[in-house]
Structure 1
């Protein structure tokens, strides 16, 4: 699909325009965009109209910020034996492997909040974080779900991680859920002012858990684009699952990323329609495991060849129509 034909760009522009025409209206859509994404794109549409360049520039800025957040989070938590900028580089590289990824999308915007929440979760697992940390985690996950509706499932992800890997008090699960709900409460009050509070909730949750149809063409394209990072992730997971040579917190990070990958795969079925952009969630755990694979190679030339293949494949797919 060419840049000028981007479905996500056209759909986002229509959502932003509809919001600007009627700020209190509930706007249903086919790209699983939440109200926060609609509001943000409405602002872009108001300021810059339908400029393709604006979508690309904002997307590039977000990807750069996300790469910094992800890299900083892994460094701060000692995820690998050495401090490296490789996770951030791979994150940008994988997110540059298709023309559609160049545009701002609900999943891409939601990734920002998921990465910030991931940092909070890892801090809690390592230091048994404060109640403020728990509340903020829920709020960030809520903001992610308000950008991209299927991200609602990451509240369950956080609860699962805390249940399995931490001794979190029961009341803190309710506190995190409150933080999550509070983000929705802000938008509910906004729509309630226009008399659409109930319609907002009904529209958001009506299609949330409907299973989409699997398009074989999209599946094949996903496997082609993400094939190498997915293969590296499988190898890395198989080789390092026992945690040999890793400290306890590194093992926790690895297992949390595995859970994130599982939930990200579930999201592929929860979007209104399966597209390449649905898979932007998978890029976070794929980046982690690909980085782990490259850093644990005993022979550096093997890692260098694999990294070169990742660069070549990314560039090739980006410029292939």
Structure 2
């Protein structure tokens, strides 16, 4: 079966797209439960579309370019999970064909084919979390565009525009997801491998990288929000506070099949003749890419299966070698490929509940949960004093406190005047209609800040407080 995709006939990419949509779209269109990260993106987009300033009026660490995408999608489609997932599907497909084009243009494999795109699309659909339009997915698109420019440069004077473009794309990638700034290291090695005049070329790339950042700095400066941007948009990302939304070992189980394929591909490298010197240099380039991916994942804060996006280019490149050494024994490659496809489909769709339960994978940990208490209040602006985002699934964000970990420095220091003054300033002009008090803070807040919280009355014996005046 995999032999079919080793040809560049137009029918191959048509079949590849149909196969990709057949694997991916049913779960996208069936209306599976939203994830908590998707709900977070929706709330951020809604708040920004309502005219509030990112970082200053919404305490959040989402990179500015990703936040702008969520803002634009809210303006166009409102709170539509389907639009987000369809755009994520489009980006995965675009990235797959772009990377395949890069490999074929540079002849990095013994034979040109659509196999890299096949692996990219296949493993990019292995788990429902990869359907999320995450900042990492948005930024990774610009990384591949930068790699396209970096690997096409030659030893002549026409490289200036391409190097600047590569740096510019890396800057946009970092503005989508800041840890992607590590790909500057890959850019530096690309200049060494594929260009001449390393110092001048590096300066061109760094100039291109700095340009979009200078535009963003200027924007926040004129919006009087430069300080919050520096604190939440830049400095916070380097605190290395790693939180696993899905427990670590569950992420490992989800990633077991692609990681096994990657390991087997490494083991098959000695059996493959790379041929030209350029192919050997590109192999070294991809090994450095592997190191950069590890740095990005360690620098990230959201430990979940979405991180597999970073591994997809490695699977697309090295996976080809796993199916190259078999020679005339095509049946070995075909059986192995069918096993991989079956494993991916089983992990994605969990048929009859026979996959997740034996493996101990609990997808509900990253999904929005439905419960009667989450429907007690609907279509209102609310503030949740706690980490449970599920209360927002039928409501809107009514305060700057989108993330509880960023709100705790204020609500956790209720004996400090500066913390109380910040809370008072944030809520006095437009207090939310309801407050859901998960942490039991309202009695003390009503005593210390009666001008704001004294306007709320508790509803029966639950955690719900309604603004009455």
**TM-score after normalising by structure 2:** 0.63
Cα deviation code 1:44-72 (max 9, x no counterpart): 11221111111111111111111111111
Partner residue of 1:29 out of 60, 64, 72: 60
Aligned pair 1:304/2:350, yes or no? Answer: no
CA contact (8 A) 1:243 1:251 kept: no
Q: Which has the larger radius of gyration?
A: 2
8 Å contact kept, 1:212–1:273: no
Aligned-pair CA distance for 1:169: 2.8
* Aligned-residue offset at 1:10: 0.7
How many Å separate the matches in 2 of 1:28 and 1:280?
A: 27
Deviations 1:181-200 (A, max 9, x none): 10111222222221123432
Alignment of 1:59-78 (within 5 A): 59-78=88-107
CA contact (8 A) 1:150 1:270 kept: yes
Cα distance change of structure 1 residues 236 and 246 upon mapping to structure 2, 3 Å threshold = farther
Write out per-residue CA displacement over residues 158-216 of structure 1, whole angstroms, 9 at most, x where no aligned residue.
Answer: 12443466543312212111111101112222222211234323322212222234649
CA distance change for structure 1 residues 174 and 286 in 2, over 3 Å: closer, same or farther? same
Equivalent pair of 1:233/1:289 in contact (CA under 8 Å) = yes
Distance of 2:60 and 2:320 partners within structure 1: 36
Residue equivalent to 2:171: 142
RMSD: 2.4
Q: Name the residue aligned to 2:124.
A: 95
Q: Does structure 1 conserve the Cα–Cα contact (< 8 Å) formed by 2:164 and 2:204?
A: yes
Match for residue 112 of structure 1 among 118, 127, 141: 141
1:9 is aligned to 38
Structure with bigger strand share is 2
Q: In structure 1, how many angstroms separate the alpha carbons of the residues matched to 2:345 and 2:67?
A: 31
Query: 1:47 matched to which residue of 2?
Result: 76
Match in the other structure for 2:343: 313
Secondary structure in structure 1 of the residue aligned to 2:197? coil
d(CA) in 2 for partners of 1:315, 1:252:
35
Give the alignment's TM-score, normalised by structure 1: 0.90
Contact 1:207–1:272 (CA<8 Å) still a contact in 2? no
Q: Is the 8 A contact 1:3 1:100 kept in 2?
A: no
The aligned counterpart of 2:324 is 295
Alignment of 1:239-254 (within 5 A): 239-240=268-269, 244-254=273-283
State whether structure 2 residue 232 is matched by structure 1 residue 233. no
Distance 1:53 1:297 in 2: 42
Partner Cα distance (2:249, 2:158) in 1: 42
Question: Quick one: structure 1 residues 202 and 164, their matched pair in 2 at CA, closer, same or farther if it must change by over 3 Å?
Answer: farther
Secondary structure of the corresponding residue to residue 109 of structure 2: coil
CA distance in 2, matches of 1:175, 1:62: 28
Distance 1:240 1:168 in 2: 32
| Post-superposition offset of 1:73 | 0.9
2: CA distance, partners of 1:68 / 1:140: 18
CA distance in 2, matches of 1:241, 1:159: 27
Matches within 5 A, 1:153-302: 153-163=182-192, 166-213=195-242, 215=244, 218-240=247-269, 244-298=273-327, 299-302=329-332
CA separation in 1, counterparts of 2:253 and 2:158? 40
SS of 2:279's equivalent in the other structure is helix
Report how many aligned residue pairs link the two structures: 318
Q: 1:89 and 1:242, CA in 2 relative to 1: closer, same or farther beyond 3 A?
A: closer
Deviation at 1:278, TM superposition (A): 2.6
Q: Which moved more, 1:178-187 or 1:165-174?
A: 165-174
CA contact (8 A) 2:286 2:314 kept: yes
Q: 1:217 to 1:148 in 2, by over 3 A?
A: closer
CA distance in 2, matches of 1:126, 1:76: 17
